[in-house]
Amino acid sequence: MWQGILESFMGHVGRRFVISVPMVFLLLVFAMPFLVVFKISISEVDGVRFVDLLTWVDGVLKLQLKFTNYRVIFFEDDLYLRAYLSSLGFAGITTGICLAIGYPFAYFLARSRPEIRPGLLMLLMLPFWTSFLLRVYAWKMLLADNGVFNNVAIALGVLAEPVKMMNTPFSLTLGMVYTYLPFMVLPLYANLVKMDIRLLEAARDLGASPWQAFWRITVPLSRGGIIAGALLVFIPCVGEFVIPELLGGPQTLMIGRVLWDEFFSNNDWPMASSVAVVMVLLIILPLALFNKFQAESTQGGRR
């Protein structure tokens, strides 16, 4: 009997342990930092130190909150609002293009002959593994004024003089679509490859054209993949920094770069924190949707 009690106690402790290790780690390095950022975004800076929000001096409890940064973001300097809007715009356009290219891509991949499918999947995964930074850099060589595209077009006589492609909204969108395309294709593929072909056959037997069967059966059934892919592209795109920095040039406004400059060039940590807080608020809804979605797909708990 004692052994039984001991065992159930050990089992209980073991379970606690398994849950608390990742929990504590994530609370410390993921949740806590957000609170710190929020605190710093409303802190007064005294030289190099942040003044405590709550101070107790001579029997007076003082709560000091500084909202100047938020006032600047929302009312005084329209750079921030323009940057947020433009980031949302670029992220939205990128998501749309990724879906338009990625859906047929995933569809044809899922319907390709089973014997070549593992090879094709490997081809799709490989760029995803190799350095993202280097692949973005590679577009610089292709798109530059004296880059590969312009050189080839001029050599072939298609163009008389180089077309400016680098440092434009075009090059930025292209770079983001290129980088995030696999994130769209993979969840779509995983969804489409599992789809029951007999449903489509049934639709055909009942007189639907292939086009009708596609729009009324395949697309609705792949809704999960579409949502997952769209969120995997949209959310990180809003705060993207490396791609706009390498391909976007000075005119394309992205909030990730604004944050970076506040932090690294202006050394204004409270301002950078405020920019981050507003950015989190901006993506909190899609993020919640993504979390809900991921939780559902891992809802395989059995005990």
Considering only residues 86 through 125, tell me which ones interact with other proteins, judged by CB under 8 A: 101, 104-105, 108-109, 111-112, 118, 120, 122-125
Per-residue DSSP letter, 48: T
**For the CA atoms of the chain, what is the radius of gyration?**
26
CA distance 109 to 271: 46
Please tell me the distance from the alpha carbon of residue 21 to that of residue 214, in angstroms, as a whole number: 46
Of 164, 133, 156, 93, the closest CA to residue 241 belongs to: 133
Q: Under rule CB under 8 A, which residues in 8-67 are in contact with other proteins?
A: 10-11, 14-15, 18-19, 21-23, 25-27, 29-34, 36-37, 40, 49
The neighbouring-strand residues paired with 62 are 55
With respect to other proteins, which residue has the nearer C-beta, 58 or 156?
A: 156
Cβ atoms of 225 and 210 closer than 8 Å: no
Question: d(Cα 14, Cα 12) in Å, to the nearest integer?
Answer: 5
Residues 242-281 that bind other proteins (CB under 8 A): 242, 245-246, 256, 259-260, 263-264, 269, 272-273, 276, 279-280
In the chain, % helix, strand, coil (3-state, to 5) comes to: 75, 5, 20
Return the ∠ at Cα 94 (arms to 77 and 195), rounded to 5°: 140
Choices 52-60, 76-84, 143-151, 193-201; region in contact with other proteins by CB under 8 A: 143-151
> Closest approach of Cβ 236 to other proteins, in Å?
5
Rounded distance between C-alpha atoms, residue 152 and residue 131, angstroms: 26
| Residue 132 touches other proteins, criterion: CB under 8 A | yes
Q: Which stretch binds other proteins (CB under 8 A): 69-77, 174-182, 192-200, 218-226?
A: 174-182
Report if residue 295 touches other proteins, rule: CB under 8 A. Answer: yes
Judged by CB under 8 A, how many residues of this single chain contact other proteins?
93
Shortest Å distance, C-beta 77 to other proteins = 19
Q: Per rule CB under 8 A, is residue 127 in the interface with other proteins?
A: yes
Does 160 engage in binding with other proteins (CB under 8 A)? no
Distance between CA 76 and CA 70 in Å, rounded? 9
Pick out residues in 217-236 that bind other proteins (CB under 8 A): 231-232, 235-236
- Residue the block writes with tokens 């807080």: 277
6 binds other proteins (CB under 8 A): no
Binding to other proteins (CB under 8 A) within 197-216 occurs at 210
Q: Can you say whether residue 82 is alpha, beta or left, with left for phi > 0 and alpha for psi between -120 and 50 degrees?
A: alpha
Give the binding range for other proteins (CB under 8 A) out of 54-62, 78-86, 195-203, 238-246.
238-246
